[in-house]
Structure 1
């Protein structure tokens, strides 16, 4: 095996071998930061770490990832600086990066899109699984150069070992489990990789089941006292098989993964739905008992096939050529009673080809092609967006050089995006966009212990199909959505017609600045990041002040979209939305977002350390200075950890400030604080398996906390006091 040293260090997707200078730089950084574990970022094709990237990046791996792992990706990352969660009742939470989420935050698995429908609605689950992951990487700010329009706000990349790039040297694996009181959680996972001659076989799997979660008692809008969030159960399992062939000039491998998941959709009421009068028992009597006990639930199935290949030195000037391809077949149904009310599907192909090259003696980089074809459809009661096809093709080029203590990083990407919705009879059916993105960054190693970084990104985003073509009741957000393709015309008092819009739909254009500093030495480190992001033609949902009962439906297009037609209006009196739904119209306006992220560690003694962080995001429109909705409030948190022999204990507190800078028709959110503690035990007799046992207590004071970023803010607050017992190990 003659694989390059750099390629052996990098794992999974976009980590081809780079120029030898990059390896030397990486080794130098390790010497300068001897007390810091240096983890290579797989989300970049160049040799990047948290320390030498001009763009703010953080990585969660190892025991830290296992301790933070939750059912949803959003909850797993919710306490990272600059990262919040949509908190859809712990069942479908997605990450928010610096106040941006949905179609602006790309979620990837080994660098390729997760291929679910989570970017379109907060009640749709992200399908990446962190319990079997090797590490999770977070790129804050625009990452469009590699990932395209959907990464204008940032990227979360979940890395696992399903396709090996090198022999593992025998057999290795992991195992773990967790039990919790707040929702009767039962969670188990395991994985194994083993050499079979020149081949590597991988298998992993997980199983997770929880009931409705408990909260501190509160009185809801109906005047009822609530201490359990009804219909917040989870029943999920999944597994992956992978096989790689390793040869002298590289590797080739394939994998298959299947995910099956059922989860409740709290606060999600449909036409003619009767309220359940019996109190939820909190325990499933049989496999489908929750179907009878609670309201609608999602039944999700995803099949995913991936192909990875890498060649070292395929031709002169190219040090490594990598290919990544994924095909995903996704479906989830929202089921009421015994039949599905709405079905969402996604059929998606994605291909990325990357070539690392040596441009000159000083400049090295990577260029490549990225193709993406997505066919989404929705039919049934909540099919508020018609079937659509998104076709993207992108070319990118990244370059890097080091001159003394300065490291320059720059890149450019051109992309063509075509959106088609053939069944739309009102307004345009097709749109064509040409986003262009570029960035320039620099890091400066001022002292061995001090590094500064600065980065500017010019990034453009094409609107998503949902933002253009949405036209219907979106009950997860309790609104009636109208996309950019439509306009409202008042016919009479309280009567509005939906018409084709004459507006010109523009690309979102972001001008993002990051300035940061990293201090390291003697067991201490401190990271400071300041950011400002002006986004022209920002697409957002504007509450127009009318009710869905005031809408007049005369178009065949809408009848196909919502078979209820006028019946939809008549039935409003028979269910929870007797007053209809507020109409929100997608609009475009220039906005400004700015803020900071600070985190640090102080090792006072070999046994005692303090970890602390704080973050803040401010966001408003430039013309009217109106606040953007659901922007997270300021946070300050700290943890104290004490080690003694085989024991480690920690206690921490995070304060969430009151959010008073709210959008029109949005309410302020009170402040709250969460007190947590944990004890870890590392049995000496099982040290060879790196086994750890832990007992964790969360929200010890049983504090009632409303999450400002959540569409279910007052329906599904944070979980109450929770005790969990877990174990993990390796072999």
Structure 2
């Protein structure tokens, strides 16, 4: 039966096709099927004509996958996983890389939150009001800087219009879910007023603690819901654009307010002494222990302007500027225990120009100024200031079926911790990056691409200066600027490191193929990434009760009440009162893997979608596994379409992850069965109305997420039923 398989049919048609085709036919063969332009790329590109692996989530597909967090929204995309911090603050992981290596942007500008420093800090983008989400895998540093060595996720909305909308248009939607009693609603509208376009959107979302299949936690208790995993969020955006003959200029303001629980965050388990205060009540209305939660606020102003042919030789000039004022407090009872703030300015100027012959390019400047601070009980990093100034140049040409793409970027990064006295208070880096790629139309049905990138990344302020208890991840973190020295038995002192932190240096190779035959598609991507001086959190054999801590940014020793800084604690400790110590370290590592996805239209009604991805990562010297590495996945969906309705059944299998780092446990395999019914009622045709019913994890399978810091305490959600509605006008 193999000869009748969808894959065999595609390959048979490809090999039977003529090797040569008219160049004009090749240029236009996808114009009806691939029309989405990548906003994150300064030169006009689609998913097909880019040498770099790119994918886009938009339209109904985005609405159906939309979740509270960006990580959960993208978690089923090939090559993308999530940190899964109990569904309240999940961030995307791209090919095993996360945190400061994955740049998250809103309309091309940094989200300016503090999510890159900790998995319990929320990403402040909102996908329910977005037009599309763009994912650039692999190094994308040429445009976005050294914080994008792992990839870029760009969330695009319509807050600043670049053209008229043709009158008035808008959208509305909402959904309800059973597993966490979710109530969600969003809406937006854009309208032409003379030479201006105005935009308004907003959303509101509330959910309670989410339910899970009953399991036994580390304390031997039976658990059926994840305590303190509630979400209460709302936000809105107002934007206006002025359009003129050869350009546009627009300004937008957005406000986000969000409160969410921080599961697994219990001070009393680690020797901290707090007086009992009134806290959240449990589901029966009884007084419960004090449970901390985050209270987040963000104000954001964005400016976007563009000119067509402003000067001789310049075809397009674009300016993007953003200012963000961000704050979130971690609150216990009525008292903020820790406050995180970020004030950030960002400016990007890009000029598209015609070089010579068939070569086109984009040259630009990217400036970035960030002031972050943290104060309170868990201020495990001191206040810091980060400034970046980068210059980039990209160029491409297309000739005889080949699309050549190349570029370079130079950047100067300065990171200062003005109040720091222990360790080096400032660092300067000069990352340099370059890439070269090609996209080749080999046959009418086959497009091949290859991309080689050399990218450098400066360590983040958190990776350099961390020194304190981080109870959200149940660890004590020590940054690259410090070393730990044994003074006596069970006594360890934190000192300034004599070794200067180094730039991460990535050399990445991507090979890909897109095969298309009629309505059948197959994408294959292979990647290998060698990163020298890779920064990661390595678990040590130490416990925080063994540390003697002497610094000046709001830290207290993690010893018992009778011990003092600089005094030798007793030889015997109860390590259950402390935290495991993790230290940021730099080693050379190798990451490699694949992403495969395909769509086969079996007949007019039946369609099969399938994907698989895999990432392997280890140090090159001793082949030590990197921590929290995503497991291999295989998934498939079968869809039946009949007129104005369709139904879909899918299954995703997550393999066992036994390649673990030191002090990390293996994670068993599990599978999730999902189903969905979509209805597009004729009565709502003028509103492009769609209604869906969805069932997730229908077998109520217990699944632990290996990439999560809360793997053992916050597994995936249990059986969930939801109903949603989406309309456009």
Shorter-normalised TM range? over 0.9
Listed as ranges, the matches of 1:426-465 within 5 Å are 426-465=422-461
The answer to whether 1:677 aligns with 2:669 is no
1:592 pairs with one of 585, 590, 606: 590
Cα distance in 2 for residues equivalent to 1:458 and 1:668: 33
Displacement of 1:645 in angstroms is 1.7
1:63 is paired with a residue whose SS is helix
Contact 1:231 1:294 in 2 (8 A): no
Corresponding residue number in structure 2 for 1:394? 390
Cα distance in 2 for residues equivalent to 1:389 and 1:524: 51
Listed as ranges, the matches of 1:235-314 within 5 Å are 235-270=232-267, 271-272=272-273, 281-282=282-283, 295-314=291-310
Cα distance in 2 for residues equivalent to 1:191 and 1:294: 38
Displacement of 1:609 in angstroms is 0.3
Corresponding residue number in structure 2 for 1:655? 653
Cα distance in 1 for residues equivalent to 2:436 and 2:591: 20
Contact 1:212 1:282 in 2 (8 A): no
Corresponding residue number in structure 1 for 2:366? 370
Calculate the TM-score normalised by the size of structure 2.
0.93
For each residue in 1:661-697, what CA deviation from the matched residue of structure 2 results, as whole angstroms up to 9, or x when unmatched?
0001100000000000000111101111110111000
Contact 2:290 2:332 in 1 (8 A): no
Listed as ranges, the matches of 1:67-466 within 5 Å are 67-270=64-267, 271-272=272-273, 281-282=282-283, 295-466=291-462
Contact 1:516 1:530 in 2 (8 A): yes
Corresponding residue number in structure 2 for 1:561? 554
Corresponding residue number in structure 1 for 2:16? none
Corresponding residue number in structure 1 for 2:624? 626
Contact 2:543 2:575 in 1 (8 A): no
Corresponding residue number in structure 2 for 1:667? 665
Calculate the TM-score normalised by the size of structure 1.
0.93
With over 3 angstroms needed to count, the CA separation of the structure-2 counterparts of 1:727 and 1:29, relative to structure 1, is farther
Contact 1:171 1:193 in 2 (8 A): yes
For each residue in 1:266-294, what CA deviation from the matched residue of structure 2 results, as whole angstroms up to 9, or x when unmatched?
001123368999996559x9xxx9x9776
1:359 is paired with a residue whose SS is strand
Displacement of 1:33 in angstroms is 2.6
Corresponding residue number in structure 1 for 2:685? 687
Corresponding residue number in structure 1 for 2:6? none
Displacement of 1:26 in angstroms is 13
Contact 1:33 1:520 in 2 (8 A): no
The answer to whether 1:486 aligns with 2:482 is yes
1:43 pairs with one of 22, 28, 40: 40
1:718 pairs with one of 701, 706, 716: 716
With over 3 angstroms needed to count, the CA separation of the structure-2 counterparts of 1:490 and 1:563, relative to structure 1, is closer
Displacement of 1:357 in angstroms is 0.1
For each residue in 1:314-364, what CA deviation from the matched residue of structure 2 results, as whole angstroms up to 9, or x when unmatched?
101000100000000000000001100000000000000000000002100
Cα distance in 2 for residues equivalent to 1:69 and 1:242: 23
Contact 2:371 2:386 in 1 (8 A): yes
With over 3 angstroms needed to count, the CA separation of the structure-2 counterparts of 1:126 and 1:313, relative to structure 1, is same
1:660 is paired with a residue whose SS is coil
Cα distance in 1 for residues equivalent to 2:411 and 2:147: 12
With over 3 angstroms needed to count, the CA separation of the structure-2 counterparts of 1:248 and 1:28, relative to structure 1, is farther
Corresponding residue number in structure 2 for 1:9? none
For each residue in 1:134-181, what CA deviation from the matched residue of structure 2 results, as whole angstroms up to 9, or x when unmatched?
000000000000000100000000000000001111000000000000
Contact 1:674 1:698 in 2 (8 A): yes
Contact 1:366 1:399 in 2 (8 A): yes
Cα distance in 2 for residues equivalent to 1:178 and 1:502: 55
Contact 1:97 1:154 in 2 (8 A): yes
Contact 2:279 2:290 in 1 (8 A): no
Cα distance in 2 for residues equivalent to 1:552 and 1:351: 43
For each residue in 1:531-572, what CA deviation from the matched residue of structure 2 results, as whole angstroms up to 9, or x when unmatched?
00000000111222111111112x3x24x3315676679699
Contact 1:216 1:704 in 2 (8 A): yes
Cα distance in 2 for residues equivalent to 1:82 and 1:568: 48
Cα distance in 1 for residues equivalent to 2:700 and 2:27: 43
Displacement of 1:35 in angstroms is 5.9
Contact 1:26 1:47 in 2 (8 A): no
2:356 is paired with a residue whose SS is coil
Displacement of 1:577 in angstroms is 7.3
1:639 pairs with one of 621, 637, 640: 637
Cα distance in 2 for residues equivalent to 1:129 and 1:257: 11
Cα distance in 1 for residues equivalent to 2:490 and 2:213: 41
Cα distance in 2 for residues equivalent to 1:517 and 1:275: 60
Aligned residue-pair number: 698
Displacement of 1:504 in angstroms is 2.1
With over 3 angstroms needed to count, the CA separation of the structure-2 counterparts of 1:293 and 1:178, relative to structure 1, is farther
Corresponding residue number in structure 2 for 1:696? 694
Contact 1:33 1:449 in 2 (8 A): no
Displacement of 1:578 in angstroms is 3.6
For each residue in 1:248-277, what CA deviation from the matched residue of structure 2 results, as whole angstroms up to 9, or x when unmatched?
020001000000000000001123368999
For each residue in 1:171-195, what CA deviation from the matched residue of structure 2 results, as whole angstroms up to 9, or x when unmatched?
0000000000000000000000000
Corresponding residue number in structure 2 for 1:550? 546
Q: CA RMSD in A?
A: 2.2
1:540 pairs with one of 514, 531, 536: 536
